Amino acid sequence: MSAEHLDGHHRATVEKIFTHPTGHNIQWHDVISLLEQVGTVEETHKGHFRVTLGDESVVLERPKHADLTTQQVIDVRHLLEHAEVTPATTGS
């Protein structure tokens, strides 16, 4: 699925990820749902998540709480930027 066809919930998640300063209320399940729509998400045997968008892959660890840490938000932001999934490309 291309970025411009994301639903409103996924577009709102993209907005939160790109908000400055970095938000602290971005829920893990919202981010995983977004990443599944724009790329491939596979859970590893260690319970981590390998995310592939375009030609880039990263491994994300589920946060201890429902929300992503600041570093996880930054990592996801960089991944989305590389794949050209930004508020400008999603129509947000």
Query: In sequence order, what are the residues at sequence separation of 6 or more whose Cβ sits closer than 8 angstroms to the Cβ of residue 37?
Result: 1, 6, 10
pLDDT of residue 91: 74
Indicate whether this model's pTM tops 0.75: yes
Mean pLDDT is lowest, of 15-19, 58-62, 88-92, for: 88-92
Kindly tell me if the per-residue pLDDT of 27 is higher than 60.
yes
- CA dist., res. 22 & res. 25, Å (int): 9
pLDDT of residue 70: 92
3 band by pLDDT with thresholds 50, 70 and 90: low
Kindly tell me if the per-residue pLDDT of 45 is higher than 80.
yes
